[in-house]
Amino acid sequence: MRLLAYTSPARGHLYPVVPIVAALAGRGQETVVCTLSSELEHVRGLGIQALAIDPAIEAIPIEDWRERSPLGAVRSVMKTFLERSAYEAPDLARAIALCEPDVLLVDINCWGAATVAEASGLPWAMYSPYLLPLPSKDTPPFGPGLRPMRGPLGVARDAIVGRAGERISLQTVMPKINSLRDKRGLPTLARFTELLEAPPLLLSLTAEGFEYRRSDWPANVRLVGPMNWSPPTAATGGTAALLSDLGDPLVLVTCSTERQRDKRLLHVALEALPGSGISVLATSAAHDPGTFDAPVGSKVVRFLSHEAVLERAACVVCHGGLGITQKALSAGVPVVVVPFGRDQAETARRVEFARAGVRLSPRRLTRARLLDAVRTAIELRTGAQRVSRAFAAAGGSVAAAEAIETLTASRSGVLMGEEIRPSSAGAP
């Protein structure tokens, strides 16, 4: 079997798929990844073939951080994905012709590539490194991070918010997606969720126990748990030395690898925590570490091995990217999430719901509130450990690899007598 995986131009979407591809390679399958040109060396270092996506796609950045309103940010992200999709379609078609794969694995954000995958006639799967934006009678509408609410008031609220979100999708996204589909001879879709129901397999890189339990998952969804991988970095070798200079309790503070308005989180953490007897080791990622004033009891670097820090960390403070959030919880470390945009409000709410940490609104981010949130989160390690067990039970990269291999049992991608079901790992 030869797998061709296609990712969007984001490290947060490449790194989670690497363990799946590596697991397939370890099982004797041939694998190729189309991804960021800057990451090809890391992928090839694992013995995986790698191709660069079209440079025109990389040249279209997400700029939602420029927007002042949540609605403006959502529209900006959608605009970016739509612009990229026009280049993705011929780019994936080119890669298919070059690699002649037996099965495709496509990033959930690559709408143009998904259209080509569906039209190709090949077995194909989609993967989502963030929480699935699927409607459910059991959960609030995806996006604003609403607290689950039962009863008539909750039903009414969810219906209103859900209709508003669908209207935005219908007006902004679906005309372009259907235009791409029409060019490939595919039927018109009525709503965005139908795009997620199109692949025979939809891999969700989380698990119930963190994600809400639902009675109405689509038949193609398989929850396999988080995939935690990161490439070696220049700072990794010095992680032990950095840790040796810092006392306990130790808090890891992280910013996003993609540009956002989360710089303030690191500034507030450095002002609030070291002076209160809590050591801070921070990764600035998309921001210049030299722009931060690190007081005694703290260190700031751009990147380092989070795994080494998590072995000692009492808590993680982050923006709510699902990658770092689930990496911390996988290690049994509680989290303080300050969501700045995108899907982060949903991640923050799941942390709170799972009783594995604290959700703090960026509007309420002050030194006193952050310190209180960290102290509260540290006491929630039992909840984080419960989530860690649920993640492990979901099967991880092995479960994902096995599900993809099952697709190739039939050229059409129809599962051979085996229904794909989400993990039933215990919910809180």
Decide if 428 is inside a domain: no
- Which residues span the domain enclosing 367? 236-390
Decide if 419 is inside a domain: no
Residue 143: what pLDDT?
Answer: 87
CA atoms within 13 A on the CB side of 386: 17
CA atoms within 13 A on the CB side of 253: 31
- 12 & 136 share domain: yes
* 292 pLDDT above the threshold of 50: yes
Residues 6+ apart with CB under 8 A from 212: 136, 138, 139, 148, 350, 353, 427
User: Which stretch of 57-66, 119-128, 195-204, 222-231 has the lowest confidence by average pLDDT?
Assistant: 57-66
- 343 & 199 share domain: no
User: What is d(CA 336, CA 350) in angstroms, rounded to the nearest whole number?
Assistant: 12
- 250 & 379 share domain: yes
- 20 & 115 share domain: yes
Decide if 425 is inside a domain: no
- Reported as a pLDDT band with limits 50, 70 and 90, residue 362 is very high
pLDDT more than 90, % of the chain:
70
Cβ atoms of residues 7 and 34 within 8 Å: yes
Question: Per-residue pLDDT tens for 18-71?
Answer: 999 999 999 999 999 999 999 999 999 999 999 999 999 999 998 877 777 777
* 4 pLDDT above the threshold of 70: yes
Residue 9: what pLDDT?
Answer: 95
We report the CATH number of the domain holding residue 53 as: 3.40.50.2000
* 360 pLDDT above the threshold of 70: yes
* 310 pLDDT above the threshold of 70: yes
Largest Cα span, the chain: 63
* 420 pLDDT above the threshold of 80: no
User: What is d(CA 203, CA 235) in angstroms, rounded to the nearest whole number?
Assistant: 32
* 222 pLDDT above the threshold of 60: yes
Q: How many domains does the chain have?
A: 2
Residue 230: what pLDDT?
Answer: 83
Could you tell me whether strands 315-318 and 335-337 are parallel, antiparallel, or unpaired per DSSP bridges? parallel
- Reported as a pLDDT band with limits 50, 70 and 90, residue 412 is very low
Decide if 376 is inside a domain: yes
Residue 63: what pLDDT?
Answer: 81
CA atoms within 13 A on the CB side of 111: 24
Decide if 195 is inside a domain: yes
- Reported as a pLDDT band with limits 50, 70 and 90, residue 422 is very low
Mean pLDDT of the chain: 89
Decide if 422 is inside a domain: no
**162 or 182, higher pLDDT:** 182
- 87 & 219 share domain: yes
Residue 355: what pLDDT?
Answer: 97
Question: What is the pTM assigned to this prediction?
Answer: 0.89
- 187 & 268 share domain: no
